Amino acid sequence: MSQQPELLKTVCDHMRHAALLQSVADTLEWDERTGMPIKAGEYRATQVSTLRAMTHSHLTDPRFGEWLHLLSETTDQAEPHCDETSLVRELVRDWQRNWRIPVDLVERLSAATVRGQQVWDEARKSDDFSIFAPALEKIVSLKQELGMHLADGGDPYESLVAEYEPGAKVNDLVVVFESLREPLVALVAELRDAPRQPNVSILQREYPIEDQRKLSRFVAESIGFDFERGRLDETSHPFCTSLGPHDCRILTRYGSNWLSGGLFGTIHEAGHGIYEQGLRETWHGLPPGSYSSLGIHESQSRLWENQVGRSLPFWKWLYPKAKKIFGWRLEDVSVEDLHFALNSVMPSLIRVDADEATYNLHIIIRFELEKALIGGELQPAELPTAWNEAYQRYLGIQPPSAASGVLQDVHWSAGLFGYFPTYTLGNLAAAQFYAAAEAELGNLDEQLEKGQFQHLFGWLRRNIHCHGRNFTGAELVKNATGSEMAPEPLLKSLQTRYDRLYR
Amino acid sequence: MSQQPELLKTVCDHMRHAALLQSVADTLEWDERTGMPIKAGEYRATQVSTLRAMTHSHLTDPRFGEWLHLLSETTDQAEPHCDETSLVRELVRDWQRNWRIPVDLVERLSAATVRGQQVWDEARKSDDFSIFAPALEKIVSLKQELGMHLADGGDPYESLVAEYEPGAKVNDLVVVFESLREPLVALVAELRDAPRQPNVSILQREYPIEDQRKLSRFVAESIGFDFERGRLDETSHPFCTSLGPHDCRILTRYGSNWLSGGLFGTIHEAGHGIYEQGLRETWHGLPPGSYSSLGIHESQSRLWENQVGRSLPFWKWLYPKAKKIFGWRLEDVSVEDLHFALNSVMPSLIRVDADEATYNLHIIIRFELEKALIGGELQPAELPTAWNEAYQRYLGIQPPSAASGVLQDVHWSAGLFGYFPTYTLGNLAAAQFYAAAEAELGNLDEQLEKGQFQHLFGWLRRNIHCHGRNFTGAELVKNATGSEMAPEPLLKSLQTRYDRLYR
């Protein structure tokens, strides 16, 4: 018992070194995606894989396992969510997870997914699913195998979901997603046929990218992204990455004829970044200073993007600033018309371009299909048909090609099964958090209209960010909102907003 | 003997791993100087020092010493400059150099120079040399100690110069620098009093930075910097760094009221970059694929910057392009007037802003002073007076303050004694290389006027770049030009150019 503090320090230092190596590799990857010379790719891959291998061998050092074992025997379990107990619990969980997987399976999966992404890319370019089918079959079967090792007698798909959303139960997801799905299908159909429709062409005028950059930076800074501890850059596929406790990089993509892409990309990534910047520095690289789950991470981006960024009060605040920046381009546009355009709902084929109402239907389709693939109820060869049927059923549209249908996302080719549902979990949690924050903080609309984001920001800091991985996503939702995760807050928020716009 | 190829491979792999770790640290430092968030510095320092320590312990692994020992015993010495012989010779040299230095001296030097730079910064801001004096005294005494260990009975200052310019002899430098100094002093005095003077204000018009970027990139690309294997960015102190065999980063700094700073910064760094891009990939991270010396590196940047970039034929080619980019700003300026402005000579206080003729006088002053400091003939406390006297003697001006005099450069505070002379070695070699290339390739003026840089580029590839560290700087000069390094080519090139302009 007396050695416990020393042992804890040894374990923390060991982990911090792994985190440092990881952050270095992440920096190289950030650089790779922000303008690295085209021919530098091969050496960069060697640099990154060398660092990843060093991290891996550091994390699987048998001594580390012994320390963790000793530590878990002597850790006080009275307060399961305090920092030290959580630290040990989560590290042991990660350790056991790693040791459940046979080394050769890791290697086979890695080879299959590298190949899978190449073949997927080829198939998409040729618009031919059959090119991808054999690789997908291989990946599905390896992921089934992985799921069985991880599940240890339980549901393989559930164990794959838990890789991204620890503690999530597939049956709960089924119930929540089904009770979300039918009202969304009805809502989307209703809005599609509404006589009053937004003028989306407002967003398609020529908006100089230099001006869009100004607006994006202004908004990111205003909602609380700290530019002394982060930066905003551009890339082809926006993302957010943390390269140290005070170095969060967010990236967006501008189109000169598309006002909302760059701006909402920024707000979304800034939401992720604000979460990362809210993790506690003292626990950097350790579970109490890490994000809880992908669903919670996505809830932070979606809350700022949708609950805040697509609201009328927010635009009442931002509109005069936007007008100043873009000048004549917005001269003839009222804030109400702009806000309506930014909330246009229309069934479409591509997930990443989908609006807030249809987005979750894209996810539910993927969730249902991947669950059936891993469960063995659906064969990879049957996927295109099942995909198209689901799009017809839920969105009322048919992909004219595999490229704009079943082949649009990289995820499955990269072995990411169980990842898609975290997007919708994020949307659900975002609405639920926002409603709870509003109940506690009073009239948020008024605050947004004045550009006062600090109370909402503080609520997120207190209820989500500071807890790191001490709680699961479901526990954070319960603690912060008083209720289990449910579809009602999201449905209510959508219905209220669209009612005002479309009726 | 039969194990030799295997041993060679082991040694190369060992070195390549060190080079990889080094390139990763270099990437982090590049990022640090191109917009890293301000508060990320502390963690970044930890990342870099961790990687540097890993590299160091890898390179001082006793097994590596044993391999090198075995290898040097079995290496064929018949061709001393072939790749394998050079590889072994240079690695053994580096190894022996590292083992000559007591570990505690490395630590004391590191502490003294970290402190030295802080105190120097403070002294410069307060314009008070006495704040810096005690730290400088400490550094000088430690560098004397280092020099004695490295010199092993020889001249300590010479061994410090050899850290940057292997094989250089101080007596040779004294002779060459002295025969350069007097003609330069006379030339500068003559030009200062010449009745015809350039109109420098041409360069101080408002040149939009976006336009300067275009021009800089165009020029860098035209002279042969490969943007598929490199990129051009901006920073406060321009530099060039290679992050892999196909990843050379050059950086410049633009001022909106100063046309030549950003452009000549780019040409200079592109010259360094072209050298790095010309090193052989197969030997990446090993002596045959590394630069020969700092003097040779500087010769490559100075050749493009001064021999090419400040010539009239070059501007006859570039001027119409510049006019297209800058429009009315150059409308009333003839190419001759622009060229004259770019070749203005005027004694000034600050080395980094000096013109081509006075630049080497700034260096010679530093060379003479640091040689006396390390030799013990000059005490650090006497430095300001000696500095001011030298400026009066060679440049005819007196620094009004320590900040614009003896405190202007960071080098000595960072322990860089023996570094300054490589700048002038670079200028001398640049002129000598250019003259030899012209003798071989025919009329280079005609080629420059047509924007044909490929023959000169090819000459440098064949005579300098491809040889890596297989030859010392002095050997490369001798082989490529047929003569020992001498002041005449530089003096001749300056006199010819200024004669046409000032008379």
Query: Cβ B40–A246 below 8 Å, yes or no?
Result: yes
Structural domain containing residue B358: 170-193+351-421
Considering the domain architecture, whether residues B360 and B485 belong to the same structural domain is answered as: no
Q: Give the C-alpha separation, A318 to A269, whole Å.
A: 18
- Is residue B446 exposed (0-12), middle (13-18) or buried (19+ Cβ within 10 Å)? exposed
Given A41, A74, A107, the domain boundary residue is: A74
Only one residue has tokens 């994020």, namely A426
DSSP state of A238: -
Q: Does residue B362 register a pLDDT over 80?
A: yes
Task: Give Cα separations from B251 to A206, A227, A473, B107, B186 (angstroms).
Answer: 32, 23, 45, 31, 35
Instruction: Please list, in sequence order, all residues whose beta carbon lies within 8 angstroms of the beta carbon of residue A314, skipping any fewer than 6 positions away.
Output: A308, A448, A449
Q: Give the C-alpha separation, A160 to A373, whole Å.
A: 12
**Which tokens sit at B326?**
């800058």
Number of Cβ within 10 Å of residue B57's Cβ equals 10
**Side chain identity, residue B55:** T
Mean pLDDT of the A169-194 span: 97
Q: Which helix (H) or strand (E) holds B331?
A: none
Query: Cβ A37–B245 below 8 Å, yes or no?
Result: no
Of B29, B165, B269, B368, the active-site residue reads B269
Shortest distance, CA A284 to any CA of chain B (angstroms): 11
Closest CA to B42 of A226, A461, A20: A20
pLDDT tens digits for A202-249? Answer: 999 999 999 999 999 999 999 999 999 999 999 999 999 999 999 999
Q: Does the beta carbon of A234 lie under 8 angstroms from any beta carbon of chain B?
A: no
In a domain, B164, yes or no: no
Shortest distance, CA A94 to any CA of chain B (angstroms): 24
Mean pLDDT of the B279-300 span: 98
Considering the domain architecture, whether residues B248 and B379 belong to the same structural domain is answered as: no
Mean pLDDT of the B359-368 span: 98
Q: Does the beta carbon of A20 lie under 8 angstroms from any beta carbon of chain B?
A: yes
Considering the domain architecture, whether residues B235 and B246 belong to the same structural domain is answered as: yes
pLDDT tens digits for A347-381? Answer: 999 999 999 999 999 999 999 999 999 999 999 99
Considering the domain architecture, whether residues A293 and A429 belong to the same structural domain is answered as: yes
Q: Does residue B486 register a pLDDT over 90?
A: yes
Given B392, B421, B450, the domain boundary residue is: B421
Q: What is the mean pLDDT of chain B?
A: 96
Q: Does residue A1 register a pLDDT over 80?
A: no
**Chain A hits for B243, Cβ within 8 Å:** 40
Task: Give Cα separations from A61 to A55, A102, A255, A344 (angstroms).
Answer: 10, 16, 47, 53
Instruction: Please list, in sequence order, all residues whose beta carbon lies within 8 angstroms of the beta carbon of residue A480, skipping any fewer than 6 positions away.
Output: A433, A436, A463, A464
In a domain, A447, yes or no: yes
**Which tokens sit at A378?**
């659906």
Closest CA to B308 of B339, B333, B329: B339
Considering the domain architecture, whether residues B48 and B18 belong to the same structural domain is answered as: yes
Shortest distance, CA B116 to any CA of chain A (angstroms): 27
| pTM for this predicted structure | 0.94
Count the residues in chain A. Answer: 503
pLDDT tens digits for A36-95? Answer: 999 999 999 999 999 999 999 999 999 999 999 999 998 888 899 999 999 999 999 999
Closest chain A CA to residue B30? A31
Q: Does residue B1 register a pLDDT over 60?
A: no
Q: What is the mean pLDDT of chain A?
A: 96
Given A33, A55, A74, the domain boundary residue is: A74
User: Residue B12 has what pLDDT?
Assistant: 97
In a domain, B283, yes or no: yes
Considering the domain architecture, whether residues B257 and B367 belong to the same structural domain is answered as: no
Q: Does residue B6 register a pLDDT over 60?
A: yes
In a domain, A371, yes or no: no
Closest chain B CA to residue A17? B50
Query: Cβ A20–B230 below 8 Å, yes or no?
Result: no
Overall domain count for chain A: 2
Q: How confident is the model at residue A2 (pLDDT cuts 50, 70, 90)?
A: low
Q: Give the C-alpha separation, B2 to A458, whole Å.
A: 70
Considering the domain architecture, whether residues B75 and B24 belong to the same structural domain is answered as: yes
DSSP annotation string for B118-164: HHHHHHHHHT-HHHHHHHHHHHHHHHHHHHHHHHTTS-HHHHHHTTT
User: Residue B125 has what pLDDT?
Assistant: 95
In a domain, A82, yes or no: no
In a domain, A231, yes or no: yes
**Nearest CB neighbour to A24, from listed B28, B231, B244:** B28
Mean pLDDT of the B233-245 span: 96
Considering the domain architecture, whether residues B233 and B316 belong to the same structural domain is answered as: yes
**Nearest CB neighbour to A37, from listed B23, B40, B231:** B231
pLDDT tens digits for B109-124? Answer: 999 999 999 999 999 9
CATH number at residue B490: 1.10.1370.30
Q: How confident is the model at residue B76 (pLDDT cuts 50, 70, 90)?
A: confident
Considering the domain architecture, whether residues B244 and B217 belong to the same structural domain is answered as: yes
Mean pLDDT of the A255-266 span: 96
Q: Which residues of A are catalytic?
A: 269
Considering the domain architecture, whether residues B416 and B429 belong to the same structural domain is answered as: no
In a domain, A187, yes or no: no
**Which tokens sit at B309?**
């970039």
Active-site residue B269, yes or no?
yes
Q: Does residue A3 register a pLDDT over 90?
A: no
Closest chain B CA to residue A246? B40
B459 near B440, Cβ under 8 Å? yes
Closest CA to A490 of A435, A422, A440, A446: A435
In a domain, A454, yes or no: yes
Query: How many interchain CB pairs under 8 A, A with B?
Result: 85
Query: Cβ A47–B37 below 8 Å, yes or no?
Result: no
Considering the domain architecture, whether residues B216 and B335 belong to the same structural domain is answered as: yes
Query: Cβ A40–B227 below 8 Å, yes or no?
Result: no
Between positions 39 and 98 of A, the ones with CB within 8 A of B are 39-40, 42-44, 46-47, 50-51
**Chain B hits for A282, Cβ within 8 Å:** none
Considering the domain architecture, whether residues B32 and B107 belong to the same structural domain is answered as: yes
Beta strands in A21-70 (DSSP E): none
> How large is the angle between the packed helices B209-223 and B312-326, nearest 10 degrees?
140
Mean pLDDT of the A293-299 span: 98
Shortest distance, CA B375 to any CA of chain A (angstroms): 43
**Side chain identity, residue B91:** L
Query: Cβ A27–B23 below 8 Å, yes or no?
Result: no
Q: Output the 3-class SS for B376-430.
A: CCCCHHHHHHHHHHHHHHHHCCCCCCCCCCCCCCCCHHHCCCCCCHHHHHHHHHH
Query: Cβ A27–B28 below 8 Å, yes or no?
Result: yes
